[in-house]
């Protein structure tokens, strides 16, 4: 079995591969433990960078006056002469992963360790990183979304390629109220599809609980299994119909709206994974052909998240023309 190198796997995580290549690699991952390990290692590194990099770099760089780029070059030259490795979650020693770091990662790594007076080739590779695989969570959701990828047809009944010319774009937009943050982390922009990865976080960065305020509702199903919330509760309306209680509720209709030139786009389907972490996906309808090729705005207008009432309002600008490589 031929395995893939780290550069290829990083490109997979970054969303730089074609749809067919991603599918081929995903099948390979099902049976290859070596590539699974490498994917986990790189994703752990990416997650660590995403969580702590910007804030710590900003603070530490103000406290230390060092030539980071030159220091890193010196460090790299030393590591080539020594047996530098680090320990992954299975306590197996692997080599070379830190060569995948970009300049921002290297800057934080050196600055943080230098600040503590601990800059040695033996200690840097053993920095503990979070195991949560954020990058692959989003890319896997996008790649394996059969409802959107395989269920959309044009006016002639032909299945559309919802991954066509797609690009993953990292973002870091946060809207906070009542101690709860709506954190938008990544975009996937394709010709006829826009998806946004969000997390609803507490002050410490952990996910808020998946729970609901059902006071005064005539419940048909509370959505719980063994006292654990698994689904959105169902309740009976006054007219006798049944509805699901949304976890993320909009102040005036939908909590997320896609706008063009100040007007809400029509003929656009929305699919919302209504959880503390999920994906919002907008799909261009046949009548709205080419509407996703113009500058767009994601309007956020939320007044309740789970049991917490508040006001989360903001905008995310999306210009597909500028995002294309």
Indicate if the pLDDT at residue 119 is higher than 80.
no
Pairwise pLDDT comparison (126 vs 51), residue with the higher score: 51
Average pLDDT over residues 99-103: 39
Q: What is the pTM of this model?
A: 0.58
Averaged over 83-105, what is the pLDDT? 34
Q: What is the CA radius of gyration of the chain?
A: 23
| Residue listed under structure tokens 């030393």 | 78
pLDDT per residue over 43-57, tens digit each? 767 665 555 555 555
pLDDT category of residue 133 using cuts at 50, 70 and 90: very low
Q: What is the pLDDT of residue 50?
A: 57
| Residues 6 or more apart in contact with residue 138 via CB below 8 angstroms | 168, 185, 186, 188, 197, 279
pLDDT at 126 exceeding the cut of 50? no
What does the alpha-carbon distance between residue 61 and residue 269 come to, in Å, rounded to a whole number? 45
List pLDDT tens digits, range 256-280: 999 988 888 876 777 777 999 999 9
Residue 8 pLDDT > 90, yes or no?
A: no
Rounded mean pLDDT of 231-255?
92
Cα separation of 228 and 240, whole Å? 27
Who wins on pLDDT, 179 or 81?
A: 179
Whether 311 shows a pLDDT value over 70: the answer reads: yes
- Per CATH, the number for 158-210+247-323 is 2.60.40.1630
Other residues' Cβ atoms within 10 Å of the Cβ of residue 219: 13
Distance CA 216, CA 173 (A): 34
Mean pLDDT lowest among 18-27, 168-177, 228-237, 240-249: 18-27
Which carries the bigger pLDDT value, residue 200 or residue 254?
Answer: 200
> Which whole-number Å values give the CA distances from 137 to 88, 134, 198, 281, in the listed order?
20, 5, 11, 15
Average pLDDT over residues 159-170: 84
- Summarised one tens digit per residue, pLDDT across range 203-232 is 999 999 999 999 999 999 999 999 999 999
What is the number of alpha carbons within 13 Å of residue 270 lying toward its C-beta?
A: 15
Distances (CA, A) of 28 to 150, 199, 267: 21, 29, 38
Q: Exposed, middle or buried: residue 63 (CB in 10 Å: 0-12, 13-18, 19+)?
A: exposed
- For the chain, what are the domain ranges? 6-126, 158-210+247-323
| Token pair of 32 as six digits | 């290859």
**Weakest-pLDDT range from 98-112, 141-155, 222-236, 308-322:** 98-112
Q: How large is the average pLDDT for residues 279-291?
A: 80
Categorize the per-residue pLDDT at 233 as very low, low, confident or very high, splitting at 50, 70 and 90. Answer: very high
- Which is higher by pLDDT, 325 or 24? 24
């Amino acid at each position: 079995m031929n395995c893939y190198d780290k550069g290829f796997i990083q490109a997979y995580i970054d969303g730089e591969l074609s749809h067919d290549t991603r599918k081929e690699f995903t099948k390979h991952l099902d049976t290859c433990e070596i590539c699974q390990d490498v994917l986990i290692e790189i994703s752990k590194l990416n997650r660590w960078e995403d969580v702590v990099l910007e804030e710590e770099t900003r603070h530490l760089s103000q406290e230390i006056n060092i030539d980071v780029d030159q220091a890193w070059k010196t460090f790299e030259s030393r590591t080539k002469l020594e047996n530098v490795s680090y320990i992954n979650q299975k306590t197996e020693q692997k080599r070379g992963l830190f060569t995948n770091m970009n300049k921002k990662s290297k800057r934080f790594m050196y600055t943080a360790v230098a600040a503590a007076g601990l800059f040695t080739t033996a200690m840097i590779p053993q920095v503990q990183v979070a195991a949560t695989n954020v990058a692959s969570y989003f890319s896997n959701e996008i790649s394996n979304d059969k409802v959107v990828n395989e269920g959309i047809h044009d006016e002639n009944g032909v299945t559309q390629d919802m991954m066509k010319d797609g690009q993953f774009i990292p973002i870091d937009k946060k809207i906070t109220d009542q101690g709860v943050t709506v954190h938008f982390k990544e975009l996937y922009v394709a010709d006829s599809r826009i998806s946004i990865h969000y997390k609803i976080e507490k002050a410490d960065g952990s996910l808020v609980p998946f729970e609901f305020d059902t006071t005064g509702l005539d419940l048909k199903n509370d959505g719980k299994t063994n006292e654990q919330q698994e689904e959105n509760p169902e309740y009976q309306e006054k007219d006798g119909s049944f509805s699901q209680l949304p976890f993320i509720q909009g102040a005036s209709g939908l909590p997320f709206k896609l706008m063009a030139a100040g007007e809400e786009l029509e003929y656009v389907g929305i699919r919302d994974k209504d959880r503390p972490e999920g994906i919002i996906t907008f799909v261009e309808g046949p009548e709205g052909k080419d509407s996703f090729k113009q500058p767009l705005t994601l309007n956020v207008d939320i007044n309740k998240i789970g049991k917490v009432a508040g006001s989360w309002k903001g905008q995310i600008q999306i210009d597909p023309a500028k995002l294309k490589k």
